[in-house]
Chains A and B, each alone.
Chain A
């Protein structure tokens, strides 16, 4: 191997070691970015669940003209380009824009809104699929057991708890790893709107591969955690 190639691999290796050190020594900047990433993405996905699950339940059960169109929009939402959402909300949040009075531009709030919009169609779509896979007679059986409307909703929700967890994880996975909307709406301000993805882009641009790799490792660990949690839940649920 040529000396330049050795030096390249040595730098990458050193970068990886430094990345691990940044994580294990509790580097304040690194952990601030991790905390902001989790805070923003978890909040956005939770908000999507709060609105998306009831909406999905309604769409799954309701019969109305244009239902197919609504479902198609939700399915299209699975592929919403984050950068387009970033652009739309950047315009809406401009000082004289319709949402300008909220004064949210370059704040975590703006990022939560963007990520909420990105994860909402995923949550709605997966809730509709989960409910449509239930036996249609189950609802009649629950009613015949003497369940009130709320008890029926609770029992049906309990039946699809695993698909709902999958929906949450899918939504979270989509937003925690997107960069376009976060960059445009948050602006990558340190200690506030700097999250893992925007930090990776910035550090790579500045040639700080150790930090970029540290954030990359955390993102990969988050994905591994999500997949591991899902596998564990599926395994334990398979016996019920």
Chain B
């Protein structure tokens, strides 16, 4: 097995006075999409935010490409190698284009290059015709596509997705999931994907991690996790019995 491009070792996180993430090891390789699945309050978002360097760690280290965050690499330098998309689009005032190019602008890239990099991504995500539209006039699906474009434009080495399709209606969600699976296949980056939906995890992920009460219970391919749960709790969480029947 290749060495993980992003490697977290023994990371734990305290939130609101309790240990929300138990000491955890987690790795993801380039080209791999890892789904994090678990019940509400399992610590999925905490794990993702910790991996993305957006929460202070209680213990442990995070390495990207062999460089340790906070020792060999500043927080800013780390964030300029990754991108994150959340459940809400979290767009800023302005147009679709303004939002899509924002990360590039923050890196000091000139406008000509920004335009050259943004246009193909807007086309891939089928929102090129909306480039000049103010964000207040977008539908939920269009806003989330803009948020995805803003992340993909950066060509990140690691992409973090926190239930990016959860707030969308079912048809939009299915369509976006399918399109996004194709994009991930083409782009070959390391992706960490928090989801509440096992079908979504199966469609997008090579690996699936089952999380409960801040601990990883099982780590394997979506088929393995579904068909061969290692514990009764995993079976309960995935509803393995239902899937098998």
Contact = CB atoms under 8 A, between A and B. Distances in A.
Contact of B54 (A140, A148, A239): A140
Interface residues of A, number: 21
Interface residues of B, number: 26
B14 interface: no
Given A143-B54, A146-B103, A239-B134, A135 B92 contact: no
B86 A141 contact: yes
Given A144-B54, A145-B106, A146-B154, A135 B79 contact: no
B137 A239 contact: yes
Contacts of A151: 106
A144 B160 contact: yes
B30 to A, nearest CB: 19
A137 B103 contact: no
Contacts of B83: 144-145
Interface in B71-110: 76, 79-80, 82-84, 86, 88, 90, 92-94, 102-103, 106-107
B94 to A, nearest CB: 6
B93 A158 contact: yes
B92 A158 contact: yes
A141 B80 CA distance: 12
Interface in A140-170: 140-148, 151, 155, 158-159, 161
B52 interface: yes
A240 interface: yes
A207 interface: no
A144 B137 CA distance: 25
A238 interface: yes
Contacts of B93: 158-159, 161, 237, 240
Nearest to B82: A144
A143 B79 CA distance: 7
Interface of B: 49, 52, 54, 76, 79-80, 82-84, 86, 88, 90, 92-94, 102-103, 106-107, 134-137, 150, 154, 160
14 contacts: A135-B88, A140-B49, A140-B86, A141-B84, A142-B92, A144-B79, A144-B82, A145-B102, A145-B103, A146-B103, A151-B106, A155-B92, A237-B93, A239-B134
